[in-house]
Amino acid sequence: MTKFDNHILNCYYYCNKLHYNSSNNFLNRRIKKLIYRYYSFILKFLYGSFIPYKAKIGKNVKFIHSFRSIFISQHAEIGDNCQILHQVTIGSNIQKKQNNNNSKLEAPIIGNNVFIGANAIIIGSTIIEDNCKIGAGVTITNLHLQKESTVFNNNIKIINN
């Protein structure tokens, strides 16, 4: 990670702390709005990413190949010491309750020390416990991975001319 990447990650932690731990008076709202816009501008226009300050991202999370094309739902939870490569999606989906017409937003919960490979997609009510490895190009939806699991995509098809 470059110094600029560290700046963005520090900006995320600062915005998150501002959102959850500061008073909501007029001056604070104006300052927050200015900081949120700066943070959002850098991520969207320089990196093409969406990492909202409302998401719960643990300490020492590393974005190995910078912040290129990363999407994280604002409802997602990511544990400490995770490593995330480029073009990763950690998204939420809407699940309808069976008893009534209310819908509920479900997002992944990712444990500590998880490695997520490039172009991985993790959506829905997925729970990934500690020390798991997610390979490149894997799509995981509504799944519970036990501790120290490894998931990879083995659908290789060779076409000869």
pLDDT at residue 161 is higher than 60: no
- pLDDT computed for residue 99 by the predictor: 61
pLDDT at 79: 96
pLDDT tens digits, 98-157: 566 666 788 999 999 999 999 999 999 999 999 999 999 999 999 999 999 999 886 755
Whole-number pLDDT of residue 121: 95
Domains of the chain: 3-151 (2.160.10.10)
Region 52-59 average pLDDT = 89
What pLDDT is recorded for position 97? 62
**What mean pLDDT is predicted for residues 61-84?**
90
- DSSP strand E in the chain: where? 56-57, 62-63, 71-72, 77-78, 83-84, 89-91, 93-96, 103-106, 109-110, 115-116, 121-123, 127-128, 133-134, 139-141, 144-145, 150-151
What distance lies between CA 21 and its chain's CA centroid?
Answer: 21
Helix (H), strand (E) at residue 40:
helix 26-41
The pLDDT, as a whole number, for residue 3 is 64
Residues 48-54, mean pLDDT to the nearest whole number: 86
- Whose tokens are 């798991």? That residue is 132
pTM of the model as a whole: 0.82
- pLDDT value at position 144? 93
